[in-house]
Amino acid sequence: MAEKVLITGATGLIGHELVRLCKENNLPVHYLTTQKEKIVSEPGFKGFYWNPAEGIIDPEAFEDVTIIVHLAGAPIAGRWTEKYKKTIIDSRVQSANLLYETLKELNHNIGYFISASGINIYPDSQTKLYTEEDVVVADTFLGEVVEAWENAAAQFKNLGMDVAKVRTGMVLDKNKGALPKLVQPVKLGAGAPLGSGDQWQSWIHIEDIAGIYFFLLTHKLEGIYNAVASNPVQNKRMIELIASQLRKPLWMPKVPAFLLKLILGEMAILVLEGQLVSSNKIKKLGYQFRFYNAESALQDLLT
């Protein structure tokens, strides 16, 4: 039977690039969207409506599908009110649960499930190198989010599927995500390290994160995988590299942690904390990164 993939979150940052890769490789894609105006139907690419909050899903989305890639989830970079925290968790867990409950009732040929996850499951550290063998979970809201996300993915094993979880680092993309937020103050001549500047940023180029998903689904690899480039950098180095690429001076003092906490609240851990993460596992299995170091990644994205 020919492969067909169903992608949730297909119009998001990673999903958009993964869809492009699938199309390039003639892998047919079905995708689920909560916005009816984003539904298109063309050869090899077809959209279907769902609403996880209301338990609504179009069962035709699963027709002839053999692989599910679950990328759906509300952005974590929104102010963390108690209401939005619930949205962050529910958007990941409710959506996985809806897929699971629907598949329990359907005749289907799906044998493989890949879920997005995050390196934020690992505690903040400037010295510890984390691998997939580490089972410690950060005592933070993000640690809670990722643990719930991965538990929601694990249940698909009960349906006889192989399951992979992709612990993603900071995705570098020209137009979306973290990079434009780091670039903007540098462009304005106000670039500066955040907090101590010593926190690690385990990053990955947008082409490589999509490439890892495609590599996993092509080889049907199960288990946990860290999706980060080989050479993480500290925040102060990332800012220096961006400034160098943009030919902008850095003269501002470091942005104090207390100020960031005042502005961002609890969400400040997104910029003040970091993890040093290894991707040796996926490399040993044969994935070849296009962008190994931050210099080449930023050169590609900022020129």
| DSSP per-residue string spanning 28-43 | -EEEEES-GGG--EET
Are 116 and 71 spatial neighbours (Cβ–Cβ below 8 Å)? yes
The two beta strands, 29-33 and 5-8, are parallel
In a domain, 85, yes or no: yes
**The amino acid at 89:** I
Give 84-129 pLDDT, tens digit per residue: 999 999 999 999 999 999 999 999 999 999 999 999 999 999 999 9
HSE toward the beta carbon, residue 286, CA cutoff 13 A: 6
| CATH classification at residue 98 | 3.40.50.720
What's the domain count of the chain? 1
Query: Can you give the pLDDT at residue 271?
Result: 87
Q: How far apart are CA 122 and CA 108, in angstroms?
A: 35
Q: What are the structure tokens assigned to 116, written together? A: 């997005």
In a domain, 104, yes or no: yes
Beta strands in 62-128 (DSSP E): 67-70, 112-118
Query: Can you give the pLDDT at residue 1?
Result: 59
- Domain, as residue range, for 221: 5-172+202-232+276-291
Query: Can you give the pLDDT at residue 264?
Result: 86
Q: How far apart are CA 198 and CA 188, in angstroms?
A: 23
Tell me the β-bridge partners of 30: 6, 46
The residue among 97, 99, 120, 116 whose CA lies nearest residue 108 is 99
In a domain, 45, yes or no: yes
Are 183 and 246 spatial neighbours (Cβ–Cβ below 8 Å)? yes
In a domain, 247, yes or no: no
Each residue's pLDDT tens digit in the chain (303 positions)? 589 999 999 989 999 999 999 999 999 999 999 999 999 999 999 999 999 999 999 999 999 999 999 999 999 988 899 999 999 999 999 999 999 999 999 999 999 999 999 999 999 999 999 999 999 999 999 999 999 999 999 999 999 999 999 999 999 999 999 999 999 999 988 899 999 999 999 999 999 999 999 999 999 999 999 999 999 999 999 999 999 999 999 888 899 898 988 888 888 888 899 999 999 999 999 999 999 999 999 999 998
CA dist 235 → 38, 140, 151, 201, 274 (Å)? 36, 20, 31, 6, 9
Query: Can you give the pLDDT at residue 65?
Result: 97
**The amino acid at 150:** E
- At residue 69, what are phi and psi to the nearest 5 degrees? -115, 115
Direct distance between the N- and C-terminal alpha carbons of the chain, in angstroms, rounded to an integer: 43
In a domain, 244, yes or no: no
In a domain, 219, yes or no: yes
Q: How far apart are CA 74 and CA 77, in angstroms?
A: 9
The two beta strands, 162-168 and 223-227, are parallel
Q: What is the pTM of this model?
A: 0.95
Q: What are the structure tokens assigned to 100, written together? A: 């699971």
In a domain, 251, yes or no: no
In a domain, 188, yes or no: no
Q: How far apart are CA 128 and CA 301, in angstroms?
A: 29
